[in-house]
Structure 1
Amino acid sequence: MTTAREDRRRTFDALPAGLAPESWWGRAWVAALEERARDSARLARGRTYALEGHVDAVTVTPGRVVAYVRGSRPRPYRTSLALTTFAGEEWEALLEEVAADPGQLAALLDREVPQALSGALLPGRGDLIPNCSCPDFARPPCKHAAALCYRLARLLDEDPFVLLLLRGRGEREVLEDLTRRNALHAARERPAAEPELPGVLARTAFARRELPPLPVPLPPPAAPGHPAACPDDPAAPDPLALDQLATDAAVRAYALLTTGADPVAGLTPWQDAARLASAHPTSGLTGTARGLYRELAGATGRSTTELARAGAAWRQGGLVALTVLEEAWDPPAGPFDRARPALLAAGEGTFRPHRNHLTSGSRQLRLGRDGLWYPYESSPATPPVWWPAGRPAADPVAALAGVTGGPPTP
């Protein structure tokens, strides 16, 4: 915490050369100096000294500014300015004026000097007394004292409370006095009795009571809505991608509304990419959605062919079917013991078992962990690439009914 002694003594480092004051009070300080000076040549030389950075660190105490100013000789001169400080009744009048005027108080708290205080704070005739250790004391101020005056104007520009300190009081004690006076003004302006406002006590408002039942919610729509058509504008995003995102958002919102569950929750990026690709059958490699397939495949580190197979699996049965495509496992012997004779009796031929797969030529059945048989058919590639080829079924013969054995359509 700043002590009262520290509050009434401040030292400022030397400023770099250049820069004239910009605030109105900094310019007013310079104007007051120039109006009262008797030698314009000394002022001009002092202004040059200040702009060239000849003034070293400045110490400000009530009624006094001291600094060393470097002139034409190697040894700097000790230069000071004395300013008349305010008496107790003058401070009382000034602080009461500021506290009673919200505009002046706000300006001072924003570190600005209110215009109304310019006459009281700025030096009047005979207020500012310069002193310097240089031999030029015939017609004050000398150029060194003038340089300090110009340097002080820049200090006031940065911190207007320096002006109040020169008049006798530090920043902390001024602000504490204004806070106390402002509280007294607010108390005097507060009405004696609080006005009666309509309302109820908080304990009454929050008391336990019976509430009316909530209204019956509106029935959900029969199906998700269709998004608006997006124009094909070269400067706009891909309309197909926008349509895909809008449609997907509508389907997810409909699922949340009707079931309370998000169908996408918990999916990995690859699983979600397969779900999005499944909305565009037969278009992953050759159709208008190939750009979408490229972006989805690139984002997941897969090829477009892998994504097309995953999308086909998703259309076959969602996440479970995608797992069947990507995961081989060792089921119990019972399902295979029943499935192979049933297929042979139905004229489908002999199927060779391997883990959860039954394969015959270009046709294949895969047993999922859900107990359903998922039909597949192979492409003519070597080695063959297996593609989902129909809907799963609990009966292996029924699941194989739609598989022709020809090359699949991606």
Structure 2
Amino acid sequence: MDFSERREPLPVTDGIRSLSERGSIGREWWSRRFVDVLESFADRNRLHRGRAYARKGQVIDLKVRPYEVRARVQGSRPEPYEVAIGIDAIGEETWRVVEAELASRAVFRARLLAGELPPEIEWVFAELGVPLFPASAHDLHLMCDCPDYGDPCKHAAAVLYLLAEAFDRDPFLLLAWKGRSRDLLLQGLRRLPAEGAPDPFDVGDEPLTAAGFWTAGPGLAALRDRPPAAPAPPDLLLRLLDPPAVKVRRRPLIDMLGPAYEAMPQA
């Protein structure tokens, strides 16, 4: 039972208020996934109180740093509570492997450069042993100086829900929390295809022969069983190229051309 703060929390004038007034929190697939995972293992009563705190605007501020989120939450006492939410660090070598894997898939690379998180990116992280989302309570290191022994307490729960909404606004914030800023990730994705992608015309030292030329390939049934590939965005080539230094009315050229590329398939 939660014996802390039986009184109503003190009101906050300029607190961070959840955009969701009722129902689920999280709009995009990545923020919904984060919330779903959180609600699968956390105490439901404290999560309910945390949602109420988030919707009242009791969180004063929220800062996302590599492997840590810090916030202040106003409760019933005069001084706000200090909340910290940590996750395990990902080593630099592991991040390089992740970047190489993402860069090797043109659609992933294009979508990330376009500011999107393709759902399949979760598989890439899972295959490399660094899950994109916390799998259990042990993957979140929750700290709050309130007297509630719950894990999470309602103050940390409020921060987690607002963190999900922050992911809605900026998907790269999720990756920044995992230790890779948007700029560093995109620099790596632009650089790796030119430096590390395999040459499709390089056959190595193996001699070319006619062996297997007349062998039947996979049947139509096998092709139907293959999972559909993620559709390429209309501005794929635009995003793959290094952005030019040209600006139009102080806006980058690719931002101006993007709507035109998106309109081409419809036309």
TM-score bracket, shorter-length normalisation? 0.5 to 0.7
Equivalent residue, structure 2, for 1:146: 157
TM-score, with structure 2 as normaliser: 0.61
Equivalent residue, structure 2, for 1:31: 36
Residues 226-285 of structure 1 show CA distances to partners (whole Å, capped at 9, x for unaligned) of xxxxxxxxxxxxxxxxxxxxxxxxxxxxxxxxxxxxxxxxxxxxxxxxxxxxxxxxxxxx
TM-score, with structure 1 as normaliser: 0.41
Alpha-carbon shift at residue 112 of structure 1 (Å): 2.1
Alpha-carbon shift at residue 124 of structure 1 (Å): 2.1
Q: Which residue, 62, 66, 69 being the options, matches 2:70? A: 66
Alpha-carbon shift at residue 88 of structure 1 (Å): 2.7
Equivalent residue, structure 2, for 1:112: 116
Mapped contact 1:130–1:145 kept (Cα < 8 A): yes
Residue type at the aligned position of 1:48: A
Equivalent residue, structure 1, for 2:81: 77
Alpha-carbon shift at residue 14 of structure 1 (Å): 5.4
Aligned length: 178
The 5 Å alignment of 1:281-292 reads none
Alpha-carbon shift at residue 168 of structure 1 (Å): 1.4
Mapped contact 1:132–1:144 kept (Cα < 8 A): yes
SS in 2 for 1:188: coil
Alpha-carbon shift at residue 18 of structure 1 (Å): 2.8
Alpha-carbon shift at residue 35 of structure 1 (Å): 1.2
Equivalent residue, structure 2, for 1:163: 174
Gaps of 5+ in 1: 1-12, 193-410
| Larger gyration radius, structure 1 or structure 2 | 1
C-alpha RMSD over aligned residues: 2.2
1:52 aligns with 2:64: no
1:121 aligns with 2:132: yes
Q: Distance in 2 between matches of 1:89 and 1:148?
A: 30
Residue type at the aligned position of 1:131: M
The 5 Å alignment of 1:10-409 reads 15-19=16-20, 20-37=25-42, 39-118=43-122, 119=126, 120-125=131-136, 126-137=138-149, 139-184=150-195, 188-189=199-200
Residues 285-339 of structure 1 show CA distances to partners (whole Å, capped at 9, x for unaligned) of xxxxxxxxxxxxxxxxxxxxxxxxxxxxxxxxxxxxxxxxxxxxxxxxxxxxxxx
Alpha-carbon shift at residue 190 of structure 1 (Å): 6.7
Q: Distance in 1 between matches of 2:105 and 2:60?
A: 38
Alpha-carbon shift at residue 186 of structure 1 (Å): 5.8
Q: Distance in 1 between matches of 2:15 and 2:199?
A: 46
Alpha-carbon shift at residue 121 of structure 1 (Å): 1.2
Higher relative contact order (CA 8 A, sep 6+): 2
Q: Distance in 1 between matches of 2:26 and 2:15?
A: 15
Q: Distance in 2 between matches of 1:40 and 1:24?
A: 21
- Distance 1:36-1:22 versus aligned 2 partners, 3 A rule: same
SS in 1 for 2:84: strand
SS in 1 for 2:185: helix
Q: Distance in 1 between matches of 2:15 and 2:32?
A: 20
Alpha-carbon shift at residue 157 of structure 1 (Å): 0.8
Q: Percent identity?
A: 39
Q: Distance in 1 between matches of 2:179 and 2:28?
A: 22
Alpha-carbon shift at residue 153 of structure 1 (Å): 0.2
Residue type at the aligned position of 1:78: E
SS in 2 for 1:60: strand
Gaps of 5+ in 2: 1-13, 204-267
Q: Distance in 1 between matches of 2:179 and 2:113?
A: 19
Mapped contact 2:16–2:54 kept (Cα < 8 A): no
